[in-house]
Chains A and B, each alone.
Chain A
Amino acid sequence: MTGQEYAFAVLALVGTVSAIRLVTAKNVVHAALYLVVTLSVVGGVYLLLAAEFVGWVQILIYVGAIVILFLFGLMLTRAPIGREALDNQQRGIAFLIGIGILAGLVFLIQGAFSWNGPRLRPSVGTTAELGQSLFRQWVLPFEAVSFLLLAALIGAVVLSRRDDRP
């Protein structure tokens, strides 16, 4: 266990706990805050993996913008508090499915790699490299994504307009 692995283990533990609390919190705002923690943990892991640009974008966008969106959404819809208010009846099945998916994924992982498998030696991830790849090879998808964002923007505005016409 190297030092990074220790750091990663700690971050993973925190992230797991906060993720579980996210899906089981009785208070929506608490759930939103747990989301913040989880997203930050993931950003930290990115940094550990030397993907600096992605990591900071994660913090910037996710923690900075999306969580705010969620909080606004919660505020505007006056979400109630309480277990019965927030969890539906098929909790049991959902749990089983979750366990099942976890099992399936683990199965696939250990089928591909052994636990003492390859170690990551992070090498790429600088902003310069990312920028070069993005604007050379992946410029078309980049443009497409910008259109997507524009469409989403317009769509959101249109959808949430109040119908005040007589």
Chain B
Amino acid sequence: MIRLPLVLFFSAVLFSTGVYGVLARRNAVLVLMSIELMLNAVNLNLVAFSQFWHDVTGQVFALFVIAVAAAEVGIGLAIVILIYRNRETINIDEVNLLKW
């Protein structure tokens, strides 16, 4: 009974907010959080369409995305901790050795 476009709109808002967060935040952990936001938006889309098409595959994929997101966060935080150990900072701005 919910109109599909509304759900999609909500998901789009979440996604763009996540994009802003990825691009604007300095702290690596906050960037990871923003990435989680984006992934959630995608999940929302998948579930909404799964109900639209009356196919449970969308939800299965949402599950997969959640699993992958979990794995990704784990690895991502491990890397962030390694960077913190090496450089005493996790400001992404300061990780620019590939600068010209």
Interface residues of A (CB under 8 A from B): 2-5, 8-9, 12, 15-16, 19-20, 22-23, 28, 31-32, 35, 38-39, 42, 45-46, 48-51, 53-54, 57-58, 61-62, 65-66, 69-70, 72-74, 76-77, 79-80, 85-91, 93-95, 97-99, 101-102, 105-106, 109-110, 113-125, 129-130, 133-134, 137-138, 141-142, 145, 148-149, 151-153, 155-156, 159-160
Q: A66-B70, A88-B24, A159-B82 are in contact. Are A73 and B1 (CB under 8 A)?
A: no
Query: Contact at A73–B80, with CB atoms within 8 Å?
Result: yes
Query: Contact at B21–A101, with CB atoms within 8 Å?
Result: no
Given contacts A58-B66, A102-B15, A117-B4, list 6 more A-B pairs with CB under 8 A. Answer: A49-B51, A61-B66, A61-B70, A86-B25, A105-B16, A120-B4
Query: Contact at B26–A87, with CB atoms within 8 Å?
Result: yes
Q: Could you list 19 A-B pairs, sorted by A, with CB under 8 Å?
A: A4-B2, A9-B6, A16-B13, A23-B17, A23-B24, A38-B40, A51-B47, A54-B63, A70-B73, A86-B27, A94-B19, A98-B17, A98-B20, A122-B51, A123-B51, A124-B54, A138-B60, A149-B67, A152-B74
Nearest CB of B to A43, in Å: 9
Interface string of B1-38 (1 = CB under 8 A from A): 11111111110111111111111111111101110110
- List A contacts of B78 (CB < 8 A): 155-156, 159-160
**The residue from B14, B29, B36 contacting A15, defined by CB atoms under 8 A apart:** B14
Query: Contact at A85–B26, with CB atoms within 8 Å?
Result: yes
Interface footprint category on B: 35 or more
Nearest CB of A to B21, in Å: 4
Complex Cα–Cα for A130 and B28 (A) = 35
Nearest CB of A to B18, in Å: 8
**The residue from A22, A39, A119, A123 contacting B17, defined by CB atoms under 8 A apart:** A22
Query: Contact at A129–B15, with CB atoms within 8 Å?
Result: no
Nearest CB of A to B36, in Å: 7
- List A contacts of B57 (CB < 8 A): 133, 137-138
Nearest CB of B to A52, in Å: 10
**The residue from B8, B29, B70 contacting A149, defined by CB atoms under 8 A apart:** B70
- List B contacts of A2 (CB < 8 A): 1-2
Q: A120-B48, A124-B54, A130-B59 are in contact. Are A19 and B14 (CB under 8 A)?
A: yes
